[in-house]
């Protein structure tokens, strides 16, 4: 994992505006982009932790299964959901296209960009597309607006409180972040898609990045579905996770493969399960590490559940 350890624990102390690296970023800009994304926390409380070669062992296991089940000229349909900045999707797609040149790869996430609002005095607010402001940048301070600043940083807490009051007085109109510009507003979008994933999508029509929920259903639309680091007990209830299992089954073609798992936070080890879609539910094909924490729930699920 290539990560500047000084940035590893800085989190929202780094201005999210630095994610705006343009279409031809330098190697340093790409490194900064990756480091910021590693600790970027959304309003929901989830983090967009991701890094290069994160799923190398998972990819190898999936590729082995696919090679044993499909001919090289098969026009496979692969969906990778909850992909964060989609670098891991681009890495996997590159490998798959060499083995299956007719394959089509869709990478998706619910959040593909942020919105930057620049005030007349030079202050900057960074928001999610629904208008929820995450961060305020006003030199020399970068503070979290949505999530509370830690008690160990009383000055930052005061600055964050001041910024929240400024936002309230600003009385931004509903939906202000939905458009690139609006009366009396100076806004722009900041892509959260990794520059290398964007470049692949621009150069190869087999690879696309789109907005989609992990719970979306497109009936029997793909041969392989991957949902890593999203469907877990820390984020969802058992009822919601059962809905995720159902959504996966309905989206994968009969005989297709669902890859579900989680990267452990302490050592970044992957635990994943590769499941085959049968008419009456899921069948375990193989595991990476200890397998997914969702495995038992998935194997007990049936279409009539």
Residues 144 and 162 in one domain: yes
Q: What is the mean pLDDT of residues 63-67?
A: 93
Residues 142 and 244 in one domain: no
**How does residue 157 score in pLDDT terms, banded at 50, 70 and 90?**
confident
Residues 274 and 230 in one domain: yes
Residues 160 and 237 in one domain: no
Residues 293 and 153 in one domain: no
81 versus 266: which is more confidently predicted? 81
Q: Give the tens place of pLDDT for each residue, 79-128.
A: 999 999 999 999 999 999 999 999 999 999 999 999 999 988 889 999 99
Q: What pLDDT, on the 0 to 100 scale, is given for residue 253?
A: 95
DSSP 40-97: -B-TTS-B----TTTTHHHHHHHHHHHHHHS-TT---EEEE-S-TTSHHHHHHHHHHH
Q: What pLDDT, on the 0 to 100 scale, is given for residue 8?
A: 47
Last residue of a domain, one of 191, 226, 259: 191
How many folded domains does the chain comprise? 2
Last residue of a domain, one of 134, 159, 191: 191
Residues 106 and 117 in one domain: no
Residues 128 and 187 in one domain: yes
Q: What pLDDT, on the 0 to 100 scale, is given for residue 2?
A: 43
Q: Is the pLDDT at 181 greater than 80, yes or no?
A: no
Q: Say if 86 falls within a structural domain.
A: yes
150 versus 127: which is more confidently predicted? 127
**How does residue 182 score in pLDDT terms, banded at 50, 70 and 90?**
low
The CA distance from 72 to 53, in Å, is 24
Residues 97 and 152 in one domain: no
Q: Give the tens place of pLDDT for each residue, 5-47.
A: 444 445 557 899 999 998 889 999 999 999 898 888 888 877 7
- Give, in order, the Cα–Cα distances in Å from 214 to each of 58, 105, 136, 238, 245: 19, 16, 30, 15, 10
Residues 144 and 291 in one domain: no
Query: Residue 166 sits in which domain range?
Result: 5-40+113-191
Q: Is the pLDDT at 187 greater than 60, yes or no?
A: yes
Q: What pLDDT, on the 0 to 100 scale, is given for residue 234?
A: 85
Q: Say if 164 falls within a structural domain.
A: yes
Q: What pLDDT, on the 0 to 100 scale, is given for residue 4?
A: 46
Q: Say if 46 falls within a structural domain.
A: no
Last residue of a domain, one of 138, 172, 191: 191
């Amino acid at each position: 994992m290539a990560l500047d350890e000084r940035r590893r624990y800085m989190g929202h102390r780094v201005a999210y505006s630095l994610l705006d690296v343009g279409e031809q970023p330098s190697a340093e800009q790409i490194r900064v982009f990756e480091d910021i994304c590693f600790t970027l926390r959304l309003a929901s409380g989830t983090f967009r932790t991701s890094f290069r070669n994160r799923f190398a062992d998972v990819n190898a296991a999936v590729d082995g299964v696919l090679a044993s089940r499909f001919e090289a000229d098969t026009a496979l349909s692969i969906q990778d959901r909850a992909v964060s900045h989609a670098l891991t999707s681009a890495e996997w797609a590159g490998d798959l296209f060499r083995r299956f040149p007719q394959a089509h790869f869709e990478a998706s996430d619910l959040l593909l960009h942020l919105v930057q609002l620049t005030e007349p005095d030079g202050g900057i607010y960074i928001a999610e597309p629904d208008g929820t402001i995450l961060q305020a940048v006003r030199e020399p301070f970068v503070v979290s607006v949505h999530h509370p600043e830690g008690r160990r940083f009383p000055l930052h807490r005061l600055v964050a409180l001041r910024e929240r009051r400024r936002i309230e007085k600003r009385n931004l109109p509903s939906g202000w972040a939905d458009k690139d510009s609006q009366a009396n507003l100076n806004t722009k979008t900041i892509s959260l898609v990794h520059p290398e994933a964007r470049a692949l999508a621009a150069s190869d029509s087999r690879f696309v990045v789109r907005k989609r929920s992990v719970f979306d259903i497109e009936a029997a639309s793909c041969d392989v579905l991957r949902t890593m680091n999203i469907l877990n007990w820390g984020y969802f209830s058992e009822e919601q996770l059962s809905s995720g299992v159902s959504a996966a089954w309905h989206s994968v073609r009969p005989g297709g493969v669902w890859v579900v798992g989680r990267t452990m936070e302490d050592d970044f080890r992957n635990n994943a399960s590769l499941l085959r879609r049968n008419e009456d539910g899921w069948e375990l094909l193989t595991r990476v590490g200890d397998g997914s924490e969702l495995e038992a729930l998935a194997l007990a699920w049936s279409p009539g559940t």
